Structures are given as C-alpha cells and as structure tokens.
Chains A and B, each alone.
Chain A
C-alpha cells in the first residue's frame, strides 16, 4: 500500500522525492501503472502549486506549467498553434486529466505532445529553476530525477508549425506515428526546419537528415522530394501491436510528404 503526500509547493514536493516516490498529476500514467500492480511505488506526491497550472508569456516565449491539461491547452488563446496537437491526444476524459508535464514522460507509443515540443525546440524548466533543452532531456529521460515545473516554447509565426498524427482508429486512436514540423519561411523558402517524429523510437526523435534536406527549398513536390527520401533516416521504430518497424519506415515518407504539402486526409 502507498502513502500519498500533498505539498503546497512544487519545491516542497521536489524536496520530498525519494527513490520509490512518484509524482502524480492527472494520473493517466501513474494510476494506470498502479492499477496494473506496479511495484516499487511507495509514495505518491501531489502538489496544489498554482504555478503548475499557469500559461504565461515570459522573455523566451510562452511558459506552460507542467500541470496544464490538454483541455486547457485547447482552450488557451496563446497556445492556439498547439491546440491541434492536444486535440488528438486521448478522448475527452483523458484530455481533461493528462498534463503537459506527464506527456514528457509518456513512453512509446504515447507522448504526441512532446513530439510537438521537440519540433519547437522547447526548454524544460525543472523545479529547482534550471533549464534543459528538450533534446538532452529526452536523451536522458529514462534516468531522470527531479520534477519538471514547466516547459517553455517559442511562438512560431502563423502557418510555420504543423502537426500530423497517424492512427488507425478515428477520431481517437493511438499513434502509428506522429510528425511535428517547425518550418520558418523566408522569401518562400524554408529556413532552419525542425522535424520531430513520435512512435519512431524509444522517445520522440528529430529527423535531422530530412531537416537538412529542407533548407532553402520551396514547399512543393519537387522541393521536398530529397527530404521525403530520407524521412526515416536516423529514426529507430519498433514493432508493436499497432505497426511493425518495417511498416513505419515504409510509410514515414508518405506522411512527411502530407505534412509538408499540407494535404488533408481523413
């Protein structure tokens, strides 16, 4: 049996973290693990810290508290560019519960919101105030200690951020893969693009070969062809109940093409 500790501040919860503690927010990951008999969780830590639920502008962009739910992302005017991402996560009940902070730790094939954060080059802000880029955070995720307080994202110019989730069941289904792209444009050509894939590796991963191939091209079938050819390069998909690794590699170029050409498919 567990004990549950509720701390008024996130710093208090962070200080109380032990080897066998888990922080619980919406519960979609931790309660699920407990319902399936997770051993090794002795203490559940909660916090009512109001800062966890804040969405606000600061010097480097928009700061999203780790406890902000997907439903709150959808409702936020500042985060309108992320609404299409939050809208395809789970069903309505999950979106009322699942948080941005939890999504950072959601294992394959979950964690579609974090794919968007990776494409946007988000900063992870820890409870002690130190910051870490999303990419090193994800690389070290399995050995993570400490609590995340917030993430910070830049606001992309209108139309420069795109997201596409591929699932077999509509309107709600788990990702076969998801793709997020940040495509800064200058004079009709792509600048320094960032592309991130979800469900194509143990964590969301950048498609760096495709990013490089996009630099300076126009977003039409000919311009994107070299990037599409190397879409799956550097990715490490796994076989699971939804799709084989082979299938994921085969269809990654198709879905990247749809994202880049903004083709709408049902």
Chain B
C-alpha cells in the first residue's frame, strides 16, 4: 500500500513525511519525526502518556489518525524547554519530585501547560481536573499537583510558600 504524505508543524518546526495509511500520530511522531517525548502507554486512551497539543488543545496522539494531523500545529514536551533552560513546569516537576519513573511526565506536562495557558492561577481542584486523563502509578498525584501550582505561582511572579 502506498504511503501518504503528511505535513504539520512540530514545536514550530515544519515536518513533512510519508506515513502508512491508518497509522496513529504517536507512531509518526516517535518513529517518523524522532520526537520520543510522547510515550506509548496503553494505546487505548486510558493513560494519557501520549498527550500532545494539537492547535493548543490536548489530544491523545495514539488515538489520532496521522492523516488528521495534516496542516495542524502540534506541540510536545520536546518543545517545552528553551534550549538548556527548562520550562518552569519542568523545573517544578524536578524540584518537587513529581516525576519518579517518568513515564507519565511528558503527558502531565502537556496537560499542565494547557491548563496554565488558560487559567494562570488555577485552584487545586482545577489542576486535578486538568490532569484527570493522565495516569501516574508512582507519585499518588499530590507531588504533581503541588508542582503545577508551584510553577503557576512562579510564572505569575508570586512568592512560593
């Protein structure tokens, strides 16, 4: 079967590649575009490890038809840091031990970034809701929620208590 061309922007870089018809976006990002930050967890939309942003909104790459990404703006955790300088969310996750095995982290960061873009000063409940599609089997979630609230405070220039 002939491969089909797909073009999209990935973290502000133009990407053009050929994909198998029916391939999912996660495989295309990892194997085609070489961005290994989104993870393959369950492949059925339960775990959120493959969470990416399409047009600024969270989507599950494993359930997205690669051909539906044509012309879209895709963002992953691979584009979060500014060179060697980590994003405040990444820094807060690291400092707050919000990543243990790290498998959920990239998806958590995408969910958190989307929340903070919309709601820079979220409540604890809003954070829990925003990451409700992302499973973590290590931390018990509390360090992740704390880290997101810490990052929010830092990004707002508020003192962190």
Contact B133 A1 (CB under 8 A): no
Digit string of B18-47 for contact with A (CB within 8 Å is 1, else 0)?
001110100000000000000000011100
Residue among B58, B60, B128 with the highest chain A CB neighbour number at 10 A: B60
A44 adjacent to chain B (CB < 8 Å): yes
A96 adjacent to chain B (CB < 8 Å): yes
A-B contact pairs, 13 of them (CB 8 A): A4-B4, A4-B67, A6-B67, A27-B64, A31-B62, A31-B63, A34-B24, A35-B63, A91-B134, A92-B130, A92-B132, A96-B59, A171-B132
Contact B111 A94 (CB under 8 A): no
B95 adjacent to chain A (CB < 8 Å): no
A90 adjacent to chain B (CB < 8 Å): yes
Q: Number of contact residues on B: which range applies?
A: 20 to 34
A interface, CB within 8 angstroms of B: 1-4, 6, 24, 26-28, 31-32, 34-36, 44, 46, 71, 90-94, 96-97, 171-172
Contact B60 A93 (CB under 8 A): yes
Digit string of B126-161 for contact with A (CB within 8 Å is 1, else 0)?
001110111000000000000000000000000000
Contact A32 B4 (CB under 8 A): no
B153 to chain A, nearest CB (A): 22
A84 to chain B, nearest CB (A): 14
Contact A93 B58 (CB under 8 A): yes
B136 to chain A, nearest CB (A): 13
**Closest A-B pairs by Cβ, 7 of them:** A91-B133, A2-B22, A172-B132, A35-B43, A93-B58, A31-B63, A1-B1
Contact A32 B63 (CB under 8 A): yes
Which listed residue (B20, B24, B57, B68) contacts A35, Cβ 8 A?
B24
**Residues in chain B near residue A36, CB distance under 8 A:** 43-44
B114 adjacent to chain A (CB < 8 Å): yes
Contact B59 A44 (CB under 8 A): no
B65 adjacent to chain A (CB < 8 Å): yes
Evaluate whether A27 and B132 lie within 8 angstroms (CB atoms) in the complex, with A32-B63, A93-B58 already known.
no
B19 to chain A, nearest CB (A): 10
Residue of A nearest to B125 (CB): A171
**Residues in chain B near residue A91, CB distance under 8 A:** 48, 132-134
Evaluate whether A93 and B133 lie within 8 angstroms (CB atoms) in the complex, with A4-B4, A27-B64, A31-B65 already known.
yes
